[in-house]
C-alpha cells in the first residue's frame, strides 16, 4: 500500500509497546547547533542535519543523521512554533512535504516554521540498503497460478536474506525510533512542544508520538489512520474488499461517461477482469514497458484511491485494452508515471525498500510484526479471497519479505491509549486506510475529535496540495485548530457541508 506523497504508503501499523519501556528511552537532551544551508533538488527552504542515536538505548553509541528542512514563519508576531509533517509510507521522503501544505493552511502557514524531514535511512538522511538493486520486486500480485506465487515467494525470500545482512542497522528502523527522532528534532530546534501533521503511516507515527511524549504535544492532526491493534498483514488484507468497492464505484462512473469500456458498471467491471486475464496469458506491451497480471493490480490500486482520478483510471484501462489488442499506444500520463515508478532500480529504490521493509517487518514484535511465517497461509488466503475480490484479493494477501524476515526487533510495539487532544481527519470511502481503522484509533485516542469527509480518497487535508478538489469543511476545521482554536465540541461529518 502506498501513500499519497510518494506512492509508498503501507498505511502503517501501530505497534504494541508498554509506556514504561517507551519512557525509558526518552531522547537525550540535544546541545547540537544546527548548520542551515541550501536544500537538495532546489527545494525552496533551508536544510540541516540533526544527529541522533542509532539506538536510543545506547545514546552514547553510534549516531546517524536526519535531514530536515525549514520554511520560517512569516508572521513573527503571531508565531505559534514549529509544525513538523510526515507524508506516509513507511519510507516516504518528507523534506518537501511540510512546505507543500501551505496552500491548504492558507494564512495559518505564516504562523509556523514548517519543518519537513526524511525519516531515518530515507532520502537525504543516513542511508541504508539491502543490496537488491530494485525497490519494487516484492510489491505485486502473485497472479492466478501457483507457479507465479512460488516465484514471488522465492523473490521475497531472497530480499529477506539480503536484508538480514544488515542486522547492525535495520532493527533500529522502527516507528518508535522515528517518533524519538521527531522529538530529537524538536529538541534541536529549541522548541518546548511540537505541532504535527501526518497522513497515512504519518498519522500512525503521530499517534505513537502522542503515546511516547504526551507532554510535548501541541497541535496534532492525524489524517487517514489505521487500527492500532491490527497487524501489518491484517491492514494489507483489509484493503482488498474496499478496493473492490472502489472499483465498483469507478466502473459505474465510467459507464456513464463513455470510454468504450462498457455501457454498465458490470460491463466495465467485466472489461477489467478480462484485461487481467489477458495480461496473465501474455504481458501487455506499452512502449518500452510491459504490464502483466503481477503489475496490473498495482496500477489499478494506485489510481482507485482517489475519486478525482476516475478519468485517469478510465484512460489507463482504455490504453491497456488497446495495447492488448495490438494497437500502438502512447500511454496516458498517469499510466506512464506508474510504469516509471514500477521500473525503479538502483540505490534510491533500494534505500526506500530497505527503510520501508524494516518498519513493516520489525514493528510489532516477533515473529516479524505479526506476518505469518512461511508461504502456505498466504496462498490459502489468496485462494479464499478470489471469489469476492477477483482483482485485488491476490494483491491484498500477497506474500512479502516479512514472511521470511530474519531480524528480531530490539523492542516490542506501542500500545496506544491516551487522552491527548488531537484532531483526526478521515475519508469515509478510503480504500487504503479503511474507515473502520480510523474509528478504532479514535476510540484509543480518547481525547481526539474525528472529522469525516464523504470521499473516496486517501489523504483529506492534502487534497488541495495534490491538485484535487479540497474538502472545504475539513480544511476549515483543521486550520482553525492549527491557528490555536479549540477542538470541535464533537465529531464532525463534513458530508453535507462539502456538497
DSSP code per residue over 69-103: EEE--S-GGG--EEEEEE--TTT---TTHHHHTHH
Lowest-confidence pick of 83-92, 100-109, 272-281, 340-349: 340-349
* Neighbour count for residue 446 (Cβ, 10 Å): 11
| Mean per-residue pLDDT of the chain | 90
How do residues 27-80 score in pLDDT, each as one tens digit? 665 567 899 999 988 899 999 999 999 999 999 999 999 999 999 999 999 999
The answer to whether the CB of 148 falls within 8 A of the CB of 371 is no
Residue 221 predicted with pLDDT over 70: yes
How do residues 337-380 score in pLDDT, each as one tens digit? 888 887 777 777 787 888 888 888 888 665 556 899 999 999 99
Residue 204 predicted with pLDDT over 90: yes
How do residues 116-127 score in pLDDT, each as one tens digit? 999 999 989 998
Summarize the confidence of residues 381-404 as an average pLDDT. Answer: 96
Residue 246 predicted with pLDDT over 70: yes
**From CA 84, how far away is CA 69, in angstroms rounded?**
10
**From CA 360, how far away is CA 234, in angstroms rounded?**
12
How do residues 411-438 score in pLDDT, each as one tens digit? 878 899 999 999 999 999 999 999 999 9
Helix (H, G, I), strand (E, B) or coil at 119: coil
Q: Give residue 5's pLDDT band: very low, low, confident or very high (50, 70, 90).
A: very low
Active site residues: 200, 430, 458
CA dihedral of residues 162, 164, 166, 168 (deg, nearest 10):
-170
Q: What's the alpha-carbon Rg for the chain, to the nearest Å?
A: 22
**From CA 467, how far away is CA 302, in angstroms rounded?**
16
Q: Give residue 4's pLDDT band: very low, low, confident or very high (50, 70, 90).
A: very low
- Measured at the alpha carbon of residue 11, what is the angle toward residues 310 and 449, in degrees to the nearest 5? 95
Q: How far apart are the first and last CA of the chain?
A: 29
Locate 332 and state its grid cell: 496516458
Q: What's residue 199's pLDDT?
A: 98
Q: What's residue 14's pLDDT?
A: 34
Q: What's residue 359's pLDDT?
A: 87
Higher pLDDT, 2 or 404: 404
Locate 368 and state its grid cell: 516479524
Domain 19-129+170-231+413-498 has CATH 3.50.50.60: no
Q: Give residue 91's pLDDT band: very low, low, confident or very high (50, 70, 90).
A: confident
Lowest-confidence pick of 113-127, 220-234, 240-254, 342-356: 342-356
CA distances in angstroms from 264 to 242, 245, 256, 353, listed in the order given: 20, 15, 8, 40
Q: What is the pTM of this model?
A: 0.92
How do residues 298-338 score in pLDDT, each as one tens digit? 999 999 999 999 999 999 999 999 999 999 998 889 898 88
Q: What's residue 13's pLDDT?
A: 35
**From CA 27, how far away is CA 48, in angstroms rounded?**
19
What angle separates helix 232-257 from helix 310-324, to the nearest 10 degrees? 80
Q: Where are the domains of the chain?
A: 19-129+170-231+413-498, 132-163+234-351+366-408
- 76: buried, middle or exposed (CB in 10 Å: 19+, 13-18, 0-12)? exposed
**From CA 291, how far away is CA 335, in angstroms rounded?**
10
Amino acid at each position: 500500500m502506498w501513500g499519497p506523497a510518494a506512492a509508498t504508503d503501507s498505511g502503517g501499523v501501530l505497534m504494541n509497546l508498554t509506556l514504561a519501556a517507551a519512557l525509558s528511552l526518552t531522547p537525550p537532551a540535544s546541545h547540537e547547533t544546527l548548520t542551515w544551508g541550501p536544500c537538495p533538488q532546489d527545494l525552496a527552504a533551508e536544510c540541516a542535519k540533526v544527529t541522533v542515536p542509532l539506538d536510543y538505548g545506547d545514546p552514547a553509541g553510534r549516531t546517524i543523521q536526519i535531514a530536515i528542512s525549514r520554511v520560517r514563519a512569516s508572521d513573527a508576531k503571531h508565531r505559534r512554533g514549529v509544525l513538523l509533517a510526515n507524508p506516509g509510507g513507511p519510507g516516504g521522503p518528507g523534506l518537501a512535504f511540510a512546505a507543500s501544505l501551505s496552500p491548504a493552511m492558507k494564512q495559518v502557514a505564516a504562523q509556523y516554521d514548517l519543518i519537513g524531514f526524511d525519516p531515518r535511512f530515507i532520502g537525504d538522511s543516513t542511508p541504508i540498503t539491502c543490496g537488491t538493486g530494485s525497490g519494487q520486486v516484492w510489491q505485486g500480485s502473485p497472479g492466478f497460478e501457483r507457479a507465479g506465487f512460488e516465484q514471488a515467494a522465492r523473490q521475497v525470500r531472497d530480499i529477506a536474506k539480503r536484508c538480514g545482512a544488515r542486522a547492525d542497522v535495520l532493527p533500529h528502523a522502527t516507528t518508535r525510533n522515528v517518533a524519538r527522532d521527531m522529538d530529537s528534532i524538536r529538541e534541536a530546534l529549541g522548541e518546548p512542544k511540537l505541532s504535527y501533521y501526518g497522513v497515512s503511516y504519518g498519522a500512525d507515527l503521530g499517534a505513537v508520538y502522542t503515546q511516547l511524549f504526551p507532554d510535548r504535544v501541541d497541535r496534532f492532526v492525524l489524517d487517514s489512520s489505521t487500527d492500532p491493534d491490527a497487524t501489518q498483514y491484517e491492514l494489507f488484507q483489509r484493503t482488498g474488499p474496499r478496493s473492490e468497492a472502489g472499483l465498483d464505484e469507478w466502473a459505474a462512473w465510467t459507464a456513464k461517461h463513455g470510454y468504450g469500456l462498457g455501457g454498465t458498471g458490470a460491463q466495465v467491471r467485466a472489461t477489467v477482469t478480462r484485461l487481467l486475464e489477458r495480461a496473465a496469458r501474455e504481458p501487455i506491451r506499452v512502449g518500452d514497458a510491459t504490464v502483466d497480471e503481477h503489475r496490473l493490480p498495482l496500477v489499478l490500486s494506485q489510481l482507485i484511491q482517489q475519486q478525482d482520478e476516475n478519468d485517469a483510471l478510465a484512460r489507463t484501462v482504455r490504453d491497456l485494452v488497446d495495447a492488448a489488442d495490438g494497437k500502438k499506444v502512447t500511454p496516458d500520463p498517469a499510466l506512464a508515471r506508474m510504469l516509471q515508478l514500477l521500473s525503479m532500480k538502483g540505490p534510491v529504490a533500494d534505500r526506500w525498500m530497505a527503510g520501508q521493509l524494516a518498519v513493516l517487518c520489525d514493528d510489532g514484535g516477533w515473529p516479524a510484526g505479526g506476518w505469518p511465517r512461511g508461504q502456505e497461509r498466504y496462498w490459502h488466503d489468496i485462494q479464499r479471497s478470489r471469489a469476492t475480490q477477483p482483482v485485488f484479493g491476490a494483491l491484498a494477501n500477497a506474500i512479502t519479505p516479512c514472511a521470511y524476515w530474519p531480524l528480531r526487533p530490539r523492542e516490542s510495539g506501542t500500545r496506544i491509549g491516551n487522552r491527548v487532544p488531537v484532531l483526526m481527519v478521515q475519508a469515509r470511502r478510503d480504500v487504503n486506510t479503511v474507515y473502520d481503522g480510523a474509528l478504532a484509533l479514535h476510540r484509543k485516542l480518547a481525547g481526539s475529535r474525528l472529522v469525516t469527509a464523504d470521499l473516496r480518497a486517501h489523504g483529506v487535508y492534502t487534497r488541495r496540495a495534490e491538485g484535487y478538489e479540497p474538502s472545504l469543511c475539513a480544511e476549515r476545521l483543521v486550520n482553525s485548530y492549527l491557528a490555536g482554536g479549540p477542538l470541535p465540541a464533537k465529531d464532525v461529518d463534513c458530508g453535507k457541508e462539502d456538497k
